[in-house]
Amino acid sequence: MLHYLLKRLLSLAVSLVVASLVIFLALEVVPGDPAAYMLGINAQEDTLAALREELGLNGSVVERYLSWAGGLLQGDFGTSYTYRTPVAEMIGERLWISLPLALYALTLSTLIAFPAGIWAASKRGSPVDVTVMGVTQLGVAIPNFWFAMLMVLVFAINLRWFSAGGFVGWDAGFLLAMKSLTLPAIALALPQASILARVMRSSLLDTLSEDFIRTARAKGLSKRQALWRHALRNALIPVLTIIGLQFSFLLAGAIIIENVFFLPGLGRLVFQSISARDLIVVESVVMLLVFAVIVVNFLVDLAYAIVDPRLRGRR
C-alpha cells in the first residue's frame, strides 16, 4: 500500500507541474496588454512602461513563470492587476461560496442518484426501471442553466420561497446562507444525479451478472441479499470515478449557474478577470481548480484501493 501511495503522489506532483506550465503558457499567448487595458487607450508610453514594471510584466517568460510558480508554493498568489488586492484574499472570499455550493450539489446528487440507480437495477425491465431511465434521460438532456432560470421563475418569482439571486453571507446564519445556495445547488445537482443514477444502474447490472453473484445465489442468498452484501460494493468503482469527476466539474464549472444567480464565486471571478485582462487572477484561480481536480482524482484512486484491494498491486 505504501508503494502504491508513493507512486500516486509522484504522479500528482508531475501533473501539477505540467498543468502549471500549460496554464501559464496558454495565457501568455492571449492577445492584449493588461497595463494598456488598465490605463486606457490614451495612456502615455512612459506611464505604460512604469505600470508594466510595477506589475512585473517586463521580465522574460521564464522569469515570470518561476516568480509565479515560486509564489504559489509559498501561498503567495500575487496581486490583482485590476483590484490591486492580494489574489489569495479574493480567492479565499469566493471559495467560501463555491466550495459549499459544490459540496451541497454533490450531496444532493448522490442522495438522489444512489437510491434511484439501485432501485432501477433491482427492478430491471419493470415500469420502475423504465420510469427512472426516462426521467434521468430527461435530466441529462436539459441544460442546467435553463433549469436554473425555470426554478427562479417558479420558486423565486411566483411562489417567493427563495430569493432570485445573490448570497446573504455566512454572517447572516448558516440556514439563511444555505437557503441562498439551495436553488443553485439543485440546478447543478439534478443533471449530475441523472448521470450518476444511470452509471449506478449499469454498473450494478454488470456486477449482478458476474459468476460470484450466481454462486452467492446458489448458496441460498436472495437477489436482494446478493445485491446489498456483494454486488453493491463491487459496483462502486465506476461510480466513484463519476463522483470524483462531478465534484471537479461542480467546483470548476459552475460559472454559468453563478452568473444566473449572481453568486460571487470562483467561476464568476474568472469570468470577470478574463473580461478585465487580469491574468494573474485567472492563472491562480485556474491553477487552484486544477489542483482540486488532481487531488480529487488522487483521493478517488485511494478509494479504489480501499474498495478493491486487488488494484493495489496493479498500479
* Domain residue limits, the chain: 2-73, 92-312
Cα separation, 225 vs 216, whole angstroms: 9
The CA distances from residue 181 to 42, 76, 154, 260, 265, in Å, are: 43, 29, 16, 12, 11
Cα separation, 80 vs 95, whole angstroms: 16
Query: Which set of grid coordinates corresponds to residue 176?
Result: 439563511
Confidence of residue 74 (pLDDT cuts 50, 70, 90): confident
Cα separation, 273 vs 24, whole angstroms: 15
Counting residues of the chain whose pLDDT is more than 70, the rounded percentage is: 88
Could you tell me if 165 and 152 are in contact, meaning their C-beta atoms sit under 8 angstroms apart?
yes
Residue bearing the bigger pLDDT, 58 or 281:
281
Q: Which CATH class is domain 92-312?
A: mainly alpha
Could you tell me if 52 and 64 are in contact, meaning their C-beta atoms sit under 8 angstroms apart?
no
pLDDT, one tens digit per residue, over 54-63 is: 666 677 778 8
Confidence of residue 282 (pLDDT cuts 50, 70, 90): confident
Average pLDDT of the residues in 181-210: 90
Residue bearing the bigger pLDDT, 267 or 180:
180
Confidence of residue 41 (pLDDT cuts 50, 70, 90): low
pLDDT reported for residue 208? 81
Cell 450539489 belongs to: 105
Average pLDDT of the residues in 37-47: 68
Nearest to 277 by CA among 15, 95, 37, 47: 37
Residue 101 identity (one-letter amino acid): L
What are the φ/ψ torsions at residue 175 (nearest 5 degrees)?
A: -65, -40
Nearest to 249 by CA among 206, 311, 188: 188
Residue 243 identity (one-letter amino acid): I
Confidence of residue 310 (pLDDT cuts 50, 70, 90): low
Confidence of residue 307 (pLDDT cuts 50, 70, 90): low
Residue bearing the bigger pLDDT, 121 or 82:
121
DSSP states of the chain as a string?
A: -HHHHHHHHHHHHHHHHHHHHHHHHHHHTS-S-HHHHHH-TT--HHHHHHHHHHHT-SS-HHHHHHHHHHHHHTT---B-TTT-SBHHHHHHHHHHHHHHHHHHHHHHHHHHHHHHHHHHHHTTTSHHHHHHHHHHHHHHHS-HHHHHHHHIIIIIIIS-SS-SS----GGG-HHHHHHHHHHHHHHHHHHHHHHHHHHHHHHHHHHHTSHHHHHHHHTT--HHHHIIIIIHHHTHHHHHHHHHHHHHHHHHS-HHHHHHTT--SHHHHHHHHHHTT-HHHHHHHHHHHHHHHHHHHHHHHHHHHHH-GGGGGT-
What are the φ/ψ torsions at residue 76 (nearest 5 degrees)?
A: -100, 110
pLDDT reported for residue 112? 93
pLDDT reported for residue 60? 75
Per-residue pLDDT for 48 more than 80?
no
pLDDT reported for residue 116? 92
Per-residue pLDDT for 20 more than 80?
yes
Residue bearing the bigger pLDDT, 25 or 108:
108
pLDDT reported for residue 301? 74
The structure's pTM equals: 0.79
Per-residue pLDDT for 304 more than 90?
no
Average pLDDT of the residues in 194-217: 86
Per-residue pLDDT for 308 more than 70?
no
Per-residue pLDDT for 51 more than 70?
no
Confidence of residue 80 (pLDDT cuts 50, 70, 90): confident
Confidence of residue 40 (pLDDT cuts 50, 70, 90): low
pLDDT reported for residue 183? 92
pLDDT reported for residue 198? 93
Cα separation, 237 vs 143, whole angstroms: 27
310: number of Cβ within 10 Å: 8
Nearest to 280 by CA among 63, 28, 43, 61: 28
pLDDT reported for residue 37? 62
